[in-house]
Amino acid sequence: MDESHISRLLTLPDRSFFLFGPRGVGKSTWLRRVLPEVPRIDLLDSSLYLELSREPSRLEALAGNLPEQSLVVVDEIQKVPELLNEVHRLMEARRWRFALCGSSARKLRWGGINLLGGRAVTRHLEGFSWAELQGSFDLGVATQWGSLPLVHLDPHNAADILNAYVSTYLKEEIREEGIVRSLPPFLRFLQIAGLLNGQLVNGQNIATEAGVPRSTVDTYFSILEDTLLGHFLPAYRPRLKVREQTRPKFFWFDCGVARAAAGLLFDPVDRVWQGYALETLIYHELRVHNHTQAKNRSLCFYRTADGAEIDFIIETRKRQAEARAHVVCLEVKSAQKWNRQWERTMRSVSEDGRLHVDRMIGVYNGPRAYHFEGVDVLPVADFLTALHAGEVF
């Protein structure tokens, strides 16, 4: 089976759209599949890149004499952000629609670029989801090596593929675009960020470890965010009676890429790493479901000052003046046996009464499902089945 035969959850919008996603998740493959006959402008083609950089108005001639409502694909749009002015003109003058694909939002966000004033919606594509792989999903492979298409299709060479992936990222997104002044400090930061995948971010500690100013750490994290390699998971602040943690956690978009950044590809990983890898996988599935099903729900974690934690809080209804917020609480453990003590923080939040807890769920690596007085404990596969069936949120 090749990548093009795996059905993705993303659906084609009926208007112009930006399609963002990290490198290698299959954006171009998906566009070729859903838009096989559409004119395509690929800015990875160096001659096209140079031509349109010099003269963006040639986009119209390159697309051809198309009728109104025709679609045109522009791949790697971030390479020539100024092209968006011409896209805007053609949307107005010719009534064309555009699929604008990119692996980095950095140049588009930071250059005062015309983002089409709401005329294009935004869609995101991630690595393969459990719901897309179905019977070919392997939890052990997913938590060790991630869900990039190239890795899924060639798991025996996963370490070499991921090593090359991080090297390619450094070359194409960092060196060529000149995002950082000096590469060695960023490389030190990258390894630290990989090792801290899924953990609380302490910028000062990271700055000390990497040997860079505190402000530089913020810049480096913004690079990972803008190039879509990672996401901050904010702390949930429901104003309960206890003091709550406010620092965010940082998750890489893929646990295999995190492992590559950390320099652990050719070493066995310990139980602590495996625990964070499982959390990364669950976070990935939550984000995919949230986006592809247009749920648009806030995803957070909850942690008190003394370390009591709920791995994920899904806010299913916002707090209003006369109504409590509704949430789903989710605790994830990479263990074969479920320990009832892991339920305590969820139960404490539910019993406090300031939030309406729709559901409390424990996810673990064991084989059996349990129901303990309001807490559903599910094996990973059972949870993912329920999630993508819309039974979690």
DSSP state letters, 190-221: HHHHHHTTTEE--HHHHHHHHTS-HHHHHHHH
105 or 336: which leads in pLDDT: 336
Cα separation of 390 and 325, whole Å? Answer: 20
**Residue whose entry in the numeric block shows the structure tokens 């450094």:** 170
Whether the predicted pLDDT of 175 surpasses 80: no
Cα separation of 63 and 71, whole Å? Answer: 10
Whether the predicted pLDDT of 86 surpasses 90: yes
Token code pair at residue 187 = 């490389």
- Whether domain 3-124 has CATH 3.40.50.300: the reply is yes
Token code pair at residue 346 = 């969820």
- What values do phi and psi take at 305, rounded to 5? -65, -25
Whether the predicted pLDDT of 315 surpasses 90: yes
Cα separation of 72 and 41, whole Å? Answer: 8
Whether the predicted pLDDT of 241 surpasses 60: no
Whether the predicted pLDDT of 239 surpasses 70: no
Structure pTM?
Answer: 0.94
Token code pair at residue 286 = 């939550």
Q: Could you tell me the pLDDT band of residue 155, with boundaries at 50, 70 and 90?
A: very high
- The mean per-residue pLDDT over the stretch 333-348 comes to 97
**CA distances, 374 to each of 222, 319, 361, 385 (Å):** 40, 22, 9, 20
Q: Which residues, 6 or more positions from 186, have their beta carbon under 8 angstroms from its beta carbon?
A: 174, 180, 220, 223
Count of CB atoms within 10 A of residue 380's CB? Answer: 22
With vertex at residue 157, the alpha carbon angle to CA 151 and CA 160, rounded to the nearest 5 degrees, is 95
Whether the predicted pLDDT of 296 surpasses 70: yes
Q: Do residues 193 and 200 touch, judged by C-beta distance below 8 A?
A: no
Note the pLDDT of residue 105. Answer: 74
- Grouping H, G, I as helix, E, B as strand and the rest as coil, residue 326 is strand
| Mutual angle of helices 255-262 and 158-169, in 10-degree steps | 70
Q: Which residues pair with 312 in a beta bridge?
A: 330
Mean pLDDT of the chain: 93
Token code pair at residue 390 = 């819309």
- The mean per-residue pLDDT over the stretch 345-361 comes to 94
Whether the predicted pLDDT of 128 surpasses 80: yes
**CA distances, 139 to each of 246, 253, 383 (Å):** 31, 16, 13
Count of CB atoms within 10 A of residue 291's CB? Answer: 17
**CA distances, 67 to each of 24, 60, 71, 95, 300 (Å):** 32, 12, 9, 8, 46
Closest CA to 233 of 199, 258, 189: 199
The β-bridge relationship of strands 40-42 and 17-20 is unpaired
Provide the residue ranges of all domains of the chain, joining segments of one domain with +: 3-124, 130-223+254-270
Q: Do residues 258 and 252 touch, judged by C-beta distance below 8 A?
A: yes
Cα separation of 278 and 198, whole Å? Answer: 10
Closest CA to 7 of 160, 185, 128: 128
Q: Do residues 308 and 348 touch, judged by C-beta distance below 8 A?
A: yes
